Structure 1
Amino acid sequence: MNSYKEPIFDVAQLAHVEILSPKLEKSVEFFTRFLGMEVTARSENSVYLRAYEDFYHNTLKITEANEAGLGHVAWRATSPQALERRVAEIEKSGFGIGWIDGDIGHGKAYQFTTTDGHLMEILWEVEYYHTQEEQRSKLLNRPSKRPDRGVPVRRLDHINLMTSNPGKDTDFMLDTLGFRLREQIRDNGNVLGSWISVSNLVHEIAFMQEPNRVKGKLHHLCYWYGIPQNLYDVADLLKDHEIEVEVPPNKHGVSQAFCMYVIEPGGNRIELFGDAGYIISDPAWKPVVWEMKDVPGNGDTWIGTAFPESWWTQGTPRTAVKSDEVVKS
């Protein structure tokens, strides 16, 4: 009992994510036409979007680039004072970059990287979505009406990053930002994947092994439905419009989430959650540790088809991977 570590509650949530796309308008069409998201702003080479139950001005920024991948991940602190405390700890870690004035939808933010080089930022000041009268829902606890197009996602859920060293990145997030380890996959003590959170969700961010030890890649970004049937509806819609469904509706063992994976036109993998699995209310939660030998058919897919090799080997930017180099995390 004496080994219990005082928790840090300075990070509140995943605020927004920026992804890169070589086909900006096609990517925007995917999120608006098929996932029902709304464009809230445009800049010179970026488009900002939100889902209909996202309370902030935007949760997704898509920026035009030569290849698909991650732009940055943004976290909201629990208070202005919490922001200053975390910035001080990030600066001690040696991975801090510095302050930016802000962007569309939020105020000043402190930028830093993970140990693997993924760009992140932490902020406090955000702009909330201002609903036009014609968009106002009669549900007073919903920011705007449910869209009448596609199969609309409800909110941003989590991000999964591929890394050359999942264990090192996990420790950085736990020690520096106060995340808690929820589940993990190990192989003879070597960390192959981690699911971590600052809330009662199983994860707001996950790290998984990049087979070639390439740094700083994106595995997927996830939006949430909350209703498993919606996955079958959107899978049917996407298939009919020639959007790649990499993993059809399925259920994970790790996290117990009902899921599916698609490749948006810009090349990034997008996960869609039919539900968020279980929640964690125990303040002394002991992480669930899977050994790699127990993962196939249990940890990866609990109910559904086996995941294709591409799911294990490919993130964005894409790199060639030999089949014998696959590390299934």
Structure 2
Amino acid sequence: MQSAAFGDIAHLGSVEIFSPVPEETRDFFVNLMAMKEIHREGDSIYVHSWDDYERYTVKITGRDRAGVGRTFLRAAGPQALSRRVEAVEAAGLGAGWSESEFGLGPVYLFTDPDGHDMGLYYETERYVATEEHRPSLKNQASAFPGRGANVRRLDHVNFLASDVAAAGDFVTGGLGARPTEQIVNDDGSPAAVWFSVCNKSYDLVYTSDWSGTRGRLHHVAFATDTREDILRAADVFLEAGIHIETGPHKHAIQQTFFLYVWEPGGNRVELCNAGARLILAPDWEVITWTQAERAKGQAWGLKTIESFHTHGTPVIE
């Protein structure tokens, strides 16, 4: 049975990533992922994917190490925002309001139990295409770029966590998300859990961090229209000298067709396509995968590459 708070979060809004080489990371997103740079402020560069209705999709901030900055979640309305802020404050994880976030109205800042920075908001600026990028189809945000990977939107963020169970309790109780699939260890503890805040099959993921470190990133994922886009993207990355970690292939869990690469700053980026999978059942029952089932690898038999379990950002030496 889904939480009474389910639906208070409308969707995953945007994400900030840290990069020791922000200009190179910017070029990766603009030249290879087909986003547009739309703003600079301080140490940050803001880029926009072509069908994101909001002002920007990714905030790239220069830091000495790669990693994830703040993840932003849009509430479904002012009352929903108030309810989620109250729940976060009750959990003792709130950090107060900010009115200085580019493209957003008031943002309530907080951390999850593992120390990942997050922000809740409702008021937002809509993206307005320039004449050069004005779409012929007025029901999309910008003209189709027709270059590189052509990613349409931000899809999900996968966080590494020192305590997946604690993070999961907060995401369900504090944010109103619902778990859709999970990997459970032989001792009954969760190794990874996929959460949905809308009717997408997942938006936020928490995966156990082998190092026990708090606040690290596993990957940020972007949706493509088709599997063929991902196949073409693999060639684009190959020609550009981008490290292709694994794929193209299909996950057994969530059935997502995937490609994982490391952007120049070191963060893992996924291109993904989940086909037409939506979670429509209001009484969805969580799908559980065992350690033995997970060890079989991906849907078509490809074994999961070792670095997929060990690489996260910031990198642990």
Q: Same fold (TM over 0.5)?
A: yes
Task: State the 1:313 CA deviation.
Answer: 1.1
Say which of 295, 314, 317 aligns to 2:314. Answer: 317
Alpha carbons 2:3, 2:178 under 8 Å: kept: no
* Matching residue of 1:16: 14
Relative to 1, partners in 2 of residues 1:226 and 1:63: Cα closer, same or farther, differing over 3 Å? same
Task: Kindly provide the amino acid, as one letter, of the partner of residue 23 in structure 2.
Answer: E
Q: Deviations over 1:5-29 (max 9, x none)?
A: 5343211100000000000000000
Task: State the 1:225 CA deviation.
Answer: 0.4
> What is the RMSD of the two structures over their aligned residues, measured on CA atoms?
1.3
CA distance in 1, matches of 2:3, 2:238: 48
Alpha carbons 1:72, 1:120 under 8 Å: kept: yes
SS in 1 for 2:29: helix
* Matching residue of 1:270: 269
SS in 1 for 2:174: helix
The answer to whether residue 56 in structure 2 is matched with residue 54 in structure 1 is: no
* Matching residue of 1:230: 229
Task: State the 1:79 CA deviation.
Answer: 0.5
SS in 2 for 1:237: helix
* Matching residue of 1:173: 171
* Matching residue of 1:288: 287
SS in 2 for 1:229: helix
Task: Kindly provide the amino acid, as one letter, of the partner of residue 254 in structure 1.
Answer: I
* Matching residue of 2:131: 133
Alignment of 1:70-89 (within 5 A): 70-89=68-87
The answer to whether residue 284 in structure 2 is matched with residue 303 in structure 1 is: no
Say which of 101, 117, 125 aligns to 1:103. Answer: 101
CA distance in 2, matches of 1:271, 1:57: 22
Alignment of 1:130-209 (within 5 A): 130-187=128-185, 188-209=187-208
* Matching residue of 1:118: 116
Q: How many residues align?
A: 316
Say which of 37, 42, 45 aligns to 1:39. Answer: 37
SS in 2 for 1:271: strand
Task: State the 1:226 CA deviation.
Answer: 2.3
CA distance in 2, matches of 1:309, 1:71: 25
CA distance in 2, matches of 1:244, 1:305: 19
Relative to 1, partners in 2 of residues 1:4 and 1:144: Cα closer, same or farther, differing over 3 Å? closer
Q: Deviations over 1:266-309 (max 9, x none)?
A: 00000001335621100000100111111123xx5112632211
* Matching residue of 1:240: 239
Alpha carbons 2:46, 2:56 under 8 Å: kept: yes
TM-score by length of 1: 0.93
Unaligned runs of 5+ in 2: none
* Matching residue of 2:216: 217
Moved more, 131-140 or 17-26: 131-140
Unaligned runs of 5+ in 1: 321-329
The answer to whether residue 287 in structure 2 is matched with residue 251 in structure 1 is: no
Task: Kindly provide the amino acid, as one letter, of the partner of residue 95 in structure 1.
Answer: L
Alpha carbons 1:21, 1:266 under 8 Å: kept: yes
Q: Deviations over 1:168-226 (max 9, x none)?
A: 10110000110001001111211100000111112101000100111100000001102
CA distance in 1, matches of 2:3, 2:208: 27
Q: Deviations over 1:65-84 (max 9, x none)?
A: 00000111000000011111
CA distance in 2, matches of 1:145, 1:304: 38
Say which of 66, 69, 73 aligns to 1:68. Answer: 66
Task: State the 1:59 CA deviation.
Answer: 1.2
Q: Deviations over 1:93-127 (max 9, x none)?
A: 01111111131111110011111100101001111
